Structure 1
Amino acid sequence: MSAHAHGPANRGRRVLDAAAPLFVCEPAGRPVGGALVLHDVFGVTDHAEEVCRALAREGRLAVSSYLYHERGGPAFAADELARARAHMTELTAADLAADVGAALGYLEARRAGPVLVVGFSMGGHLATWAAADHVVEAAVAVSPSAGPWPGVPAVEALVARRRSPWLGVVGGADERVDADRLRAAAGRPGPPAAVEVVDGAGHGFYRAGMAEHDGGLWPLVRDFLGRRGPLG
Structure 2
Amino acid sequence: MKTEDLITLVNSPSTFSPAAGTIAQTTVHTDNEGLHAGFTTIPSQGDDLPAYLAKPLHADGPLPIVLVVQEIFGVHEHIQDVCRRLAKQGYLAIAPELYFRQGEASDYTDIPTLFQNLVSKVPDKQVLGDLDHAAHWAARHGGDASRLYITGFCWGGRITWLYGAHNPQLKAGVAWYGRFVGDKTLTSPKHPVDVAAELSAPMLGLYGGLDDSIPQETVETMRQSLRAANATAEIIVYPQAGHAFYADYRPSYNAEAAKDGWERMLAWFAAYGGVNKPE
State the TM-score, normalized to the length of structure 1.
0.85
Contact residue 137 and residue 164 of structure 1 kept, 8 A: yes
Distance 1:103 1:202 in 2: 31
The residue type equivalent to 1:181 in the other structure is T
Deviation at 1:20, TM superposition (A): 2.5
Partner of 1:101: 132
Q: Which of the residues 136, 142, 159 maps onto 1:126?
A: 159
Matches within 5 A, 1:169-184: 169-177=206-214, 178-184=218-224
Of 15, 22, 42, the match for 2:51 = 22
Percent sequence identity is: 22
Aligned residues of 1:29 and 1:59 also touching (Cα < 8 A): no
Query: Is 1:70 matched up with 2:101?
Result: yes
Does 2:37 match 1:3?
yes
* 1:59–1:185 CA distance, 2 compared to 1 (3 A): same
**Number of equivalenced pairs:** 224
Instruction: Quickly say closer, same or farther: Cα 1:191–1:143, change in 2 above 3 A.
Output: same
Name the structure 2 match of 1:139: 173
Q: How much has 1:26 moved relative to structure 2?
A: 1.9
Verify: 1:216 aligned to 2:260, yes or no: yes
Contact 1:68 / 1:75 at 8 angstroms: preserved in 2?
no
Separation (CA, whole Å) in 1 of partners of 2:158 and 2:237: 17
Asked if residue 200 in structure 1 is aligned to residue 233 in structure 2, the reply is no
Q: Using a 3 Å threshold, how does the CA distance of structure 1 residues 18 and 26 change in structure 2: closer, same or farther?
A: same
2:42 maps to a residue whose letter is P
Partner residue, 2:28: none
Given candidates 103, 114, 117, the residue that maps to 1:84 is: 114
Question: What is the aligned counterpart of 1:57 among 76, 85, 88?
Answer: 88
**The 10-residue stretch of structure 1 (151-160 or 196-205) with the greater mean CA deviation from structure 2:** 151-160
1:173 alignment partner, SS class: coil
The 1-side partners of 2:142 and 2:113 are apart by 37
Between the aligned partners of 1:161 and 1:204, the Cα distance in structure 2 is: 27
TM-score (norm. length: structure 2): 0.72
Larger Rg: 2
Residue range with higher mean Cα deviation, 150-159 or 196-205: 150-159
Aligned match of 2:9: none
Question: What is the CA-CA distance between 1:24 and the residue it aligns to?
Answer: 0.7
In structure 1, the gaps of 5 or more residues are: none
Alpha-carbon deviations, 1:69-115, whole Å to 9, x = none?
223325467x5212321210111233212211111111222351211
> Which amino acid in structure 2 is aligned with residue 72 of structure 1?
G
Give the Cα–Cα distance (whole angstroms) in 1 for the partners of residues 230 and 128 of structure 2. 22
